[in-house]
Amino acid sequence: MLPRSPARRALVAAAFAAALTSLPAAAQTPIKFQLDWRFEGPSALFLASAAKGHYKAAGLDVTIDAGNGSGGTVTRVASGTYDMGFADLAALMEFHANNPDAPNKPVAVMMVYNNTPAAVLTLRKNGIGKLKDLDGRKLGAPSFDAGRRAFPILAKANGLATPNWTSMDPPLRETMLVRGDIDAITGFSFTSILNLEARGVKTEDIVVFPYANHGVRLYGNAIIASPKLIRENPQAVRAFLAAFTKGAKEVMANPDPAIEYVKARDGIINVELEKRRLRMAIDAVVASPDARAEGFGVVVPGRLALMASQVSDAFGTKTRVDPNAVWTDAFLPPKADLNILPPARK
């Protein structure tokens, strides 16, 4: 055989290179994920794994969208519009109990907010120094607010009367409290405190009654997945939770820089405010005393069963909530990998 000419060798090399580039890349499983709310500090827990490539390294092509409330997120995962989401466990329970025949009821697969962030907030000038002082007062919140929906549980635990409720759109909640239109509000503590400060209220003039500190040990927000995804690609669920856990650990170890991931999705956020919101969320509900006692990501069966009963009663659901139907730990990372909470502050 005659030796190949330089031109022939170059042609063969070019053809070989073209063949390599035409080979399919490693398959990336698409996952559409919806948050419970808009892009704010706590969403960095999810956005970090996307920005750092953890989802991609796990074989996933993850799209993360903002939400407009946990109820909407649950409904969209149930409809198949999204594969996974982040939603209040009480909202998921309500959906299950009110739609017993729905074919695609989402399932919670990892607990993130070990305690509900729900709280009653008021201003010191209103003279409400203890929960019992709420009796006879006007409370305000959007009709779908998690704290408002769960207020009967707080009331039963503390012997409170049924309040007079005023409904409003979310942006008006803190404004109406400052104006004096209402005496107190319900909301997520780390959201409403900062919203009140943004309206000129001094921190020391805000009175906060977290549900978790007043006899209400409801779980908060969890990662949920559609039964279709669980059935057809359980490994994708496992991969997502493992990748999320890795990013969440990095965020909790050093929260402030992670706000850049949030700013990349919403360029008009107040960076310093969202740094505070993220730190407050971590301290109050992600790395709370209950979370440290129980472990990140998991639930305690007895506490879950009690919550299911409380939600059934407080929400007046069509059927009783079945705690075994709303939760599974089958896809969680190994226990050692869930050891991600930062050291407790002294």
Check which CATH number belongs to the domain holding 244 and give it.
3.40.190.10
Number of domains present in the structure of the chain: 2
Q: Is residue 5 part of a domain?
A: no
Same-domain status, 244 and 172:
no
DSSP 29-42: EEEEEE-SSSS-GG
Q: Is 96 left (phi over 0), alpha (psi -120 to 50) or beta?
A: alpha
Same-domain status, 45 and 99:
yes
Q: Is residue 15 part of a domain?
A: no
Same-domain status, 171 and 309:
no
Query: What pLDDT was estimated at residue 26?
Result: 57
Contact between 180 and 108 (Cβ < 8 Å)? no
Alpha carbon distance 7, 244 (integer Å): 51
Same-domain status, 37 and 62:
yes
Close Cβ partners of 179 (under 8 Å, ≥ 6 residues apart): none
Same-domain status, 177 and 318:
no
Q: Which of 179, 213, 247 is the last residue of a domain?
A: 213
Alpha carbon distance 137, 191 (integer Å): 22
Q: Is residue 36 part of a domain?
A: yes
Q: Residue 292 carries which DSSP code?
A: H
Q: How confident is the chain (346 residues) per 10-residue block, as mean pLDDT?
A: 43 40 62 97 98 98 96 97 98 97 96 97 97 97 93 96 95 97 96 94 97 95 98 98 98 98 96 96 96 97 97 96 98 97 85
Same-domain status, 268 and 161:
no
Same-domain status, 314 and 247:
yes
Residue at 17: amino acid letter: A
Same-domain status, 106 and 224:
yes
Same-domain status, 292 and 267:
yes
Q: Which of 174, 194, 213 is the last residue of a domain?
A: 213
Closest to 280 measured CA to CA, from 89, 41, 36, 35: 41
Q: Is residue 9 part of a domain?
A: no
Domain that holds residue 158: 118-213
Same-domain status, 238 and 322:
yes
Same-domain status, 334 and 223:
yes
Q: Is residue 138 part of a domain?
A: yes
Query: Do the strands 206-210 and 118-123 form a parallel or antiparallel pair, or are they unpaired?
Result: antiparallel
Q: Is residue 24 part of a domain?
A: no
Q: Is residue 11 part of a domain?
A: no
Same-domain status, 132 and 276:
no
Q: Is residue 21 part of a domain?
A: no
Q: Which of 164, 183, 213 is the last residue of a domain?
A: 213
